[in-house]
Amino acid sequence: MAKKIARKPSSKKYLDFKGRMVMLGFGSIGQGVLPLIFRHIGIKPSQITIIADEMRGGEDEAKRFGVEFIKKRLTQANYRRVLAGRLGKGDFLVNLSVEIASTALVEFCQEHGALYLDTCIEPWPGGYTDPSVPVSHRSNYALRETLLKLKPRYAGGPTAVIAHGANPGLVSHFTKQALMNVARDTGVKTKAPTTREGWGKLARRLGIKVIHVAERDTQVSPIPKEVGEFVNTWSIDGFVAEGCQPAEMGWGTHEKTLPPDGARHKFGCDAAIYLNRPGLLTRVRTWTPIEGPFHGFIITHNESISMADYFTLREGKRVVYRPTVHYAYHPCDQAIMSMHECAGKNFKQQKRQRLIVDEITSGRDELGVLLMGHKKGAYWYGSQLDVHEARKLTPYNNATSIQVCAPVLSGIIWALENPERGVVEADELDFERNLEICMPYLGPVVGKYSDWTPLEGRAALFPEDLDRKDPWQFKNFRVV
């Protein structure tokens, strides 16, 4: 096991910021990242404005830091009016909200010369669940394709960092570092590539077929989940919304056939497929070092598509290499019970929510990337942050939220250091710079090899049609 214990965070100021900063949303991530912004960026409370439809428990924090809070719900009808006069050239919009269209906000910022960051690509209300919209168009693939149409229009404009939290975001940087580690350990001499094509060639040379974003959250609250309540360690609205979208994954060139309920999109880059069922009900076999083998859920995330697209190699128009990429997530046990209740009510979200932070008594969030198919089998690289260590690192966080807040901070700093890069995804950022900023907040960052494959323990009780010559085909991952 290659293990790196990150240094303890200092109060280092990475840079000064003289402009205005508007933060949309003030849930678990907004509350968690605000102290980090003041700790590591030279900025005054009077420069920051929070706009959200409710405080969600952040009253004491806003008061403590002396930050202006405006209680307002942004809509298609009012967002331009509310933001007008608050954002101009050199200012920064940090979007940590739900149900405010990212594309609309990026366009507004480009028009006004403001920088931008979000943690996922959001639609307006109904964009995830409107049954009148075809399944393909309710996907993260479709949201990404719509936003990426802005790239050529705003090339060289103010930097807009798209989908940069834990995942999507941090995991793209983990993946690049993991590739470098596997290269070192398998005798492949290489410098870190500097181009998209270079990273694709390295992944192909190493034999990477599959990349899981493998996460197991074991944080525990002593307060039992009640009937009619959704409990989670991070944004409940965000989790339910993405769980109701179709299961999605980047689709590798080694895959022989589509899953029975799988389909390709009829537009865009063609780097991903979707299943005609929600991610909240789609399980998959995966592995992390502490948990070992477990069943996660293929909750759709932007990185499943962006990473598969980023590592794609083409000869002319023909795709010659692409890995299969998807999320494999097991949330905390109380969230699992909440998911089952929600699904059993035809995906009608419970009226009561409980975000667990201070009440957590134990547990960790083991979040990393699992690279499979190379000479050494499987390699997991990521963070194993315990909740008690998370509390020592920064206030208003648990082990899950800080893994999002740290890359939000690093994304803001990177954008300020590179203010004229236009629209960029996490895969296009400097992975070493972002890891440098994030590492002090991630606890033990571990790399471990394993001989685990998704065929382990299969067909023991019931016969299955398995191709043991190629354990990396997606049909062998699915749990029906």
Digit-coded pLDDT (tens) for 143-152: 999 999 999 9
Whole-number average pLDDT of the chain = 94
For residue 479, pLDDT beyond 50: no
More confident residue, 6 or 285: 285
pLDDT reading at 476 higher than 60: no
Query: Counting Cβ atoms within 10 Å, is residue 227 exposed (0-12), middle (13-18) or buried (19+)?
Result: exposed
The predicted model scores a pTM of: 0.96
pLDDT of amino acid 220 = 98
pLDDT surpassing 90 at residue 460: no
Mean pLDDT over 384-411 rounds to 97
| Mean pLDDT computed over 393-410 | 97
Q: Distance between CA atoms of 350 and 90, rounded to whole angstroms?
A: 41
Element spanning 132, H or E: none
Q: What is the mean pLDDT of residues 167-186?
A: 98
Domain positions in the chain: 2-162, 170-401+441-479
What confidence tens digit (pLDDT) does each residue in 5-44 have?
Answer: 445 678 999 999 999 999 999 999 999 999 999 999 999 9
Between these two residues, 271 and 463, which has the higher pLDDT value? 271
CA dist 105 and 425 (Å) reads 16
CA distance 389 to 411: 23
Phi, psi of 88 (to 5 degrees): -145, -165
Provide CATH code, domain 170-401+441-479. 3.30.360.30
Rounded Cα distance between 84 and 264, Å, is: 40
pLDDT over threshold 50, residue 161: yes
Topology classification of domain 2-162:
Rossmann fold (3.40.50)
Q: Is the model's pLDDT at 399 over the cut of 60?
A: yes
Cβ neighbors of 475 (< 8 A, separation 6 or more) are 257, 259, 465, 467
Q: How far apart are CA 174 and CA 426, in angstroms?
A: 11
Q: Which residue has the tokens 């969030």?
A: 365
Q: What tens digit of pLDDT does each residue of 446-455 get?
A: 999 999 999 8
Question: In the structure, what pLDDT confidence band is assigned to residue 54 with cuts at 50, 70 and 90?
Answer: confident
Give CA–CA dist 38/61, Å, rounded: 12
Phi, psi of 204 (to 5 degrees): -65, -40
Q: What is the mean pLDDT of residues 195-216?
A: 98
> What is the SS3 assignment for 329?
strand
If pLDDT is split at 50, 70 and 90, which confidence band does 261 have?
very high
Cβ–Cβ < 8 Å for 402, 389: no
pLDDT tens-digit map of 58-94: 888 898 999 999 999 999 999 999 999 999 999 999 9
